[in-house]
């Protein structure tokens, strides 16, 4: 449904979007995820038609829309700010795009009712925006975006103005609505949890480029770059040296303090022997035991707990490792474990979950 081919957008000497290639399938929800300033909103605005790329092309539904204005793209837009007209009722706000398109009378009234019923706001049709909660106002924004049956829905950080509880509720509602309508959606956010919960696929962006595209599980469990590993979820990076390739997609490494291991390596990466690598491990994937107990791992490295933080579902430990490790690492265990600060522990790498990455320049 959507194809971006080498899209470049510059603002003076600054390149905000740098050669992005991206495709979104019919009915798919693709999330553009990244930190502020990475180019995700600029790319969304190029898709919407409010910005024109300096280079490259954009196709929607098989048609080249690169230089086509917004009102000729059949795109619905949901904004970060609710952008409701305060003097209009809910029904009038939702019906406004239809009025602009010359749709009036019974047809407009019917479409407005259908859109409001879809977002469960039928009984609020005569209220003004100020009489609604934040979540209800955002649902009005959704209804307004879908009322004229667009082929593509673009959403620019639509939940950022809501509190944590409402954000979680609206995640579910957006996901259910998108699937029920089968509408192709591009969703922009810097919230990793939001991206993982909502998306069919995620495009992680940095410095105007797409670092990796994959399903939420692929992005979280199989990051291809140090940036993706560090941005999506919590990560530890252990220094290591390449000893050579150990087969397709596997590298033989010597991990400082942990010894030798064979680990998956980023797709297409074949580091030469002697190359310095970083081993990526999620905090929850380490095996940890108190030193001197029977459950101490046979191989691994020792360290000392310097902080323990109870976080409800798990306990987060900050551990300073023996040897040359300057930066403490994060380890998470279930909430029933209890290791006091100052306790000596032993850590082992997980049997699965660790990956070798070439450090970012």
- pLDDT, tens digit (0-9, with 9 covering 90-100), for 191-242: 999 999 999 999 999 999 999 999 999 999 999 999 999 999 999 999 999 9
Nearest to 145 by CA among 111, 108, 94: 94
Q: Kindly state the greatest CA–CA separation across the chain.
A: 80
Nearest to 145 by CA among 178, 194, 169: 178
pLDDT at 296: 59
Instruction: Give the span between the Cα atoms of 141 and 116, in whole angstroms.
Output: 10
Q: How far is CA 353 from CA 202, 284, 347, in A?
A: 20, 10, 15
In this prediction, residue 299 has a pLDDT band, given cuts at 50, 70 and 90, of low
Name the packing angle between helices 134-146 and 90-100 (round to 10°): 20
pLDDT at 37: 93
Task: State the DSSP H helix or E strand holding residue 153, giving kind and residue range, or none if neither.
Answer: strand 152-156
Average pLDDT, whole number, for the chain? Answer: 91
Neighbour tally for 299: CB within 10 Å = 11
Does the structure show a pLDDT above 90 at 268? Answer: no
Express each pLDDT in 145-187 by its tens digit: 999 889 999 999 998 888 888 888 888 889 998 999 999 999 9
Nearest to 48 by CA among 20, 24, 19, 78: 78
Q: Which residues pair with 252 in a beta bridge?
A: 244, 262
Nearest to 206 by CA among 47, 17, 359, 30: 17
Provide the terminal-to-terminal Cα distance of the chain, rounded to the nearest Å: 35
pLDDT at 361: 66
- What pTM does this model have? 0.90
Instruction: Give the span between the Cα atoms of 303 and 318, in whole angstroms.
Output: 10
Instruction: Give the span between the Cα atoms of 104 and 133, in whole angstroms.
Output: 29
Express each pLDDT in 86-110 by its tens digit: 999 999 999 998 988 888 889 999 9
Find how far residue 223's CA is from the centre of its chain: 13
Query: Cβ(137)–Cβ(84) under 8 Å?
Result: yes
pLDDT at 191: 92
Express each pLDDT in 59-71 by its tens digit: 999 999 999 998 8
Express each pLDDT in 301-344 by its tens digit: 889 999 999 998 899 999 999 987 888 999 999 888 889 999 99
Please provide the DSSP assignment of 167-222 as one string.
HHHHHHHHHHHHHHHT-EEEEEES-HHHHHHH-SEEEEEETTEEEEEE-HHHHHHS
Query: Cβ(31)–Cβ(200) under 8 Å?
Result: no
In this prediction, residue 298 has a pLDDT band, given cuts at 50, 70 and 90, of low
- Specify the long-range contacts of residues 254-258, CB closer than 8 Å, at least 24 apart: 255/279, 255/349, 256/323, 256/324, 256/325, 257/301, 257/321, 257/322, 257/323, 257/324, 257/325, 258/299, 258/300, 258/301, 258/348, 258/349
In this prediction, residue 293 has a pLDDT band, given cuts at 50, 70 and 90, of confident
Phi, psi of 117 (to 5 degrees): -65, -35
């Amino acid at each position: 449904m959507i194809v971006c081919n080498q899209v470049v957008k510059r603002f003076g000497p600054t390149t905000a979007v740098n050669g992005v290639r991206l495709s979104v399938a019919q009915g798919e929800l693709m999330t553009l995820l990244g930190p502020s300033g990475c180019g995700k909103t600029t790319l969304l605005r190029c898709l919407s038609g409010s910005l024109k790329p300096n280079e490259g092309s954009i196709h929607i539904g098989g048609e080249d829309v690169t230089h086509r204005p917004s009102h000729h793209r059949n795109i619905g837009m949901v904004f970060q700010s609710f952008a409701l007209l305060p003097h209009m009722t809910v029904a009038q706000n939702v019906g406004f795009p239809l009025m602009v398109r010359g749709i009036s009378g019974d047809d407009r009234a019917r479409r407005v009712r259908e859109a409001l019923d879809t977002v469960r706001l039928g009984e609020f049709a005569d209220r003004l925006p100020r009489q609604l909660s934040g979540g209800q106002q955002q649902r009005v924004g959704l209804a307004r975006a879908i009322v004229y049956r667009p082929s593509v829905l673009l959403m620019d950080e639509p939940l950022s103005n809501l509190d944590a509880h409402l954000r979680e509720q609206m995640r579910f509602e957006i996901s259910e609505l998108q699937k029920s309508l089968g509408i192709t959606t591009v969703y922009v956010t810097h919230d990793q949890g939001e991206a993982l919960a909502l998306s069919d696929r995620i495009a992680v962006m940095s410095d105007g480029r797409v670092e990796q595209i994959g399903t939420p599980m692929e992005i979280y469990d199989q990051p291809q770059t140090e940036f993706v590993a560090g941005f999506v979820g919590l990560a530890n990076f252990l220094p290591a040296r390449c000893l050579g390739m150990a087969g397709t997609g596997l590298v033989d490494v010597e991990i400082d303090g942990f010894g030798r291991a064979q680990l998956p390596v980023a797709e297409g990466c074949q580091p030469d022997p002697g190359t310095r690598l970083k081993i990526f491990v999620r905090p929850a994937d380490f095996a940890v035991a108190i030193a001197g107990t029977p459950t101490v791992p046979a191989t691994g490295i020792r360290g000392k707990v310097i902080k323990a933080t109870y976080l409800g579902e798990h306990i987060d430990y900050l551990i300073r490792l023996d040897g040359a490790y300057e930066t403490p690492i994060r380890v998470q265990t279930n909430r029933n474990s209890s290791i006091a600060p100052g306790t000596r522990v032993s850590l082992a790498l997980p049997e699965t979950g660790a990956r070798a990455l070439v450090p970012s320049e």
